[in-house]
A and B are shown apart, each in its own frame.
Chain A
């Protein structure tokens, strides 16, 4: 059994990035041109998987049987972060849950635009999350540039800013990684 490689999200949650049976993990690198990009990806992750009504969580928890689908920006270098999607599922529900998340991801990658209502409600939840999360611990990787950049009021910011360019491409890369895993799992099952 491979050892977990856990990294911490902005909200203090651990994400294990080592994919293995019963644990799905896919990552993609995300360029960070400006500190503001951190806010953009935090808001996008909130829109897609942060709430129970977000498309990925809705698919995983309300159509499937996942406790949580995590999509989060994780610190990498100063110019490049890691966008990671993970979920944990029992062996008996893995195939069905992976299929459900893949379907939702495909819709997101095909659809393109994140709608204005979805974007703005995500910003409101992001503001709540920022206000109700404990301060980052001193040794967190989030306490270094550009991840420690001052985060503006997300609600005001989201009204003048659109979702980050290229998010469809990143989601498509995650989709390809998950599709390959699913194909492998089905091949083994045969």
Chain B
């Protein structure tokens, strides 16, 4: 068994069964960085903060949701914004109603915009451990076609520049992009306690997403580093180069993920597992974990990125790189690829086992317009191509 079996109540609203007391609802909006438009970096994240800010001194919707045991969470990524509410299935519909009411009311108390701008600055300092220029949130890695960003720059740069509030722009952005009638919805509930049809009813009439988010106006973008100077990666040649400026701090295997559809991401993950296993054999160590993009979120967003696998701290690329690369790039036997696919597919099942992760995975799959099992049609030839494109990078 790999992915959750997704059933659709109506187009864009999917659910899967979640036993136990805790259920979750995830809403994925086409409100990521890609929708900001030129000259408005940080607008999507700022809008997320404003939308999620309490609507008044009564601290709604948090007061009622948290008293009942619900947790509310929001994230902004390149092509989407996700809002998740999870908690007791016994009072689930009340929580959904409270969230929908909050999203419909964009009035926020005076001073909220200034406060949220400073909170965002403190968020960046917090999440990057006081080093926003580090690779924690802003990295890019070389590929044969040029650098690919693992880049959270639309958040980092405005925060570094000072208080960029977008106080006048966020409401229009939210009204256009953060709409319950135009989002992908994922539900992980026990249908005996929470009827998916009732949740759909609370969300109200919807526009039909004919073919995923791209029908709603969010075009895929090719991310390029926005803040660092030009670097000629082709000139670096075949051996590892110096990428301190790009934030590469360690020896690691880099797998460019240029084909960003679910099956492309799935084949990159299978290749990553093969690479981690091979490197572990060479170094006689336990396989290192894979890291997909900046946040290690699988199938969360579209767009070119990179998968990285850390090499041991005492790895000496000068002496071993050629041998290691030959080993890593070798085409695998189909049976080996099949076993790797099973392994990664099982990891994906575990990652989406909880209600909140499950609901998010459903909503994001519907958002991308591909609700099937992403590992169902992994092409061994595509896995082999991923292996051929890897590089080993080192800090200098």
* Option from A16, A58, A90, A117 in Cβ contact (under 8 Å) with B59: A58
Contact of A65 among B71, B86, B115 (CB under 8 A): B115
Instruction: Provide the residues of chain A in CB contact with B127, threshold 8 Å.
Output: 67
> Which has the most chain B C-beta neighbours within 10 Å: A22, A58, A67, A132?
A132
Hey, which chain A residues are within 8 Å of B72, CB to CB? 52
Contact B129 A4 (CB under 8 A): yes
**Is A125's CB under 8 angstroms from B69's CB?**
yes
Does A131 interact with chain B (Cβ within 8 Å)?
A: yes
In contact, B68 and A131 (Cβ under 8 angstroms) = no
Q: Which residue of B lies closest to A132 (CB)?
A: B356
Q: Which residues of B contact A93 (CB under 8 A)?
A: 118, 122
Please give, as numbers and ranges, the residues of chain A lying within 8 Å of B115 by CB-CB distance: 65
Q: Say if the beta carbon of A121 comes within 8 Å of chain B.
A: yes
Which residues of chain A are near B59, meaning CB under 8 Å?
Answer: 52-53, 58, 62
Known: A53-B59, A53-B62, A131-B354. A67 touches B88 (CB 8 A): no
> In whole angstroms, what is the CA distance A134 to B351 when docked?
7
Asked if A132 and B68 make an inter-chain contact with CB atoms under 8 angstroms apart, the answer reads no
Chain A residue total in the interface (Cβ 8 A): 38
Closest to B22 in A: A131
We find that the number of chain B residues with CB closer than 8 angstroms to chain A is 36
Task: Determine the residue in chain B with the shortest Cβ distance to A58.
Answer: B59
Against B, the Cβ 8 Å flags (1 = close, 0 = not) of A112-139 are 0000010001011101110111110000
The answer on a CB contact under 8 Å between B122 and A67 is yes
Select B125's contact among A1, A54, A62, A88, beta carbons within 8 Å. A88
| B residues less than 8 Å from A123 (CB atoms) | 69
Chain A contacts for B125, CB-based, 8 A: 22, 88-90
- Assembly CA distance A173 to B118 (angstroms): 29
A163 touches B (CB below 8 Å)? no
Give B61's nearest chain A residue, CB to CB: A52
Bound-state Cα–Cα, A127 to B70, Å: 9
> Are the CB atoms of A52 and B121 closer together than 8 Å?
no
B57-78 vs A, Cβ < 8 Å mask (1 yes, 0 no):
0010011001111111000000
Name the interface residues of A103-119: CB closer than 8 Å to any CB of B. 117
Across the interface, do B21 and A127 meet the contact criterion of CB distance under 8 Å? yes
Residues of B within 8 A of A (CB): 20-22, 24, 54, 59, 62-63, 66-72, 86-88, 115, 118-123, 125-127, 129-130, 350-351, 354-357
**A to B CB contacts below 8 Å, 14 in the list:** A4-B129, A22-B125, A53-B63, A67-B119, A67-B123, A68-B126, A90-B118, A90-B125, A124-B68, A125-B69, A127-B69, A128-B71, A131-B22, A131-B86
